[in-house]
Amino acid sequence: MNMANLLKTVVTGCSCPLRSSLGSCKVTPGKKNFLRTFHTHQAQWCKAPAKPGIPYKQLTVGVPKEIFQNEKRVALSPAGVQALVKQGFSVVVESGAGEASKFSDDHYRAAGAQIQGAKEVLASDLVVKVRAPMVNPILGVHEADLLKTSGTLISFIYPAQNPDLLDKLSKRKTTVLAMDQVPRVTIAQGYDALSSMANIAGYKAVVLAANHFGRFFTGQITAAGKVPPAKILIVGGGVAGLASAGAAKSMGAIVRGFDTRAAALEQFKSLGAEPLEVDLKESGEGQGGYAKEMSKEFIEAEMKLFAQQCREVDILISTALIPGRSLP
């Protein structure tokens, strides 16, 4: 039996969590002695009674209407509601929550949800939102103050940028699952809503730019003459930036990309974009593959490069972002 199977057997056979004292156990040589020592401690761990869980049918999931200006998303679609209802959850949706996403109240009712007001929805055991709680101008109260005490909130939070909001949620003893903090690793890929939204935002940025641009993206040769292709500069080679580069290139534009990370520049190049660099050599690799804040000298060199490029390009799309910092 290998170590992975051994740990799986121990955890499966014991309903209470492993204590940190495992690291201090005295392990004697030999496979049999090791197993005997391990099972002895397992018996000690299981002395504490396991806390009973709450049945799904006793939990209410609330889906409030997003009140952030121009926000058209909704946290749960009728299909998502139907999946939760099948699991036994009670789901309440605020009236009009899905209108901007083309989901009517009748769609949610047909999926098994109840339609209620904002106060009733926010008082649910578990609240799912897109935007972080904010002041509701109609009710004249902060959404966080309407949350159930010791309830659960699943939403984009950006904790480093919203310390006051965290204080409010802490006073309500709210359990918060910040979707923007989900690590970009394979095991958490199904929960990575941030990357999904970034991909859509990058694509949509190009579509909106094309709509406002006065010419075609791709070059045209007509009887009246030639029309040159649009030139686009994309700053930031993350998920959104690469999505923008791919979309713009597929529409026939000349694409240039800039990032402080060498790996991101290579990804720009693989999409057919021209990678841009400054003369100053400095690595922009931060933790988890994200970019880090650069030196003053590097930023000055960046600004000179951008000033030069802005004289040449038709469209600039900025997707640059450092985790926990305001947008540049």
User: Which residue numbers are catalytic?
Assistant: 184, 189, 192, 195, 290
For tokens 């955890």, the residue is: 11
Strand residue runs (E) in the chain: 60-63, 90-94, 114-116, 126-128, 135-136, 141-142, 152-155, 175-178, 220-222, 225-227, 231-235, 254-258, 274-276, 315-318
Parallel, antiparallel, or unpaired: how do β-strands 315-318 and 126-128 relate? unpaired
Instruction: Read off the DSSP letter of residue 124.
Output: S
Distance of CA 289 to CAs 35, 135, 175, 186, Å? 40, 34, 28, 14
Reading the block at residue 100, the tokens are 């901007």
Other C-beta atoms lying within 10 Å of the C-beta of residue 136: 18
- Chain centroid offset of residue 116 CA: 28
Phi-psi region of 70 (alpha: psi -120 to 50; beta: other; left: phi over 0): left
Reading the block at residue 283, the tokens are 């690595």
Q: In angstroms, rounded to a whole number, what is the distance separating the alpha carbons of residues 298 and 260? A: 9
Q: In angstroms, rounded to a whole number, what is the distance separating the alpha carbons of residues 10 and 19? A: 12
Helix ranges, 251-295 (H):
262-270
Distance of CA 169 to CAs 76, 138, 175, Å? 22, 21, 8
Q: In angstroms, rounded to a whole number, what is the distance separating the alpha carbons of residues 64 and 117? A: 8
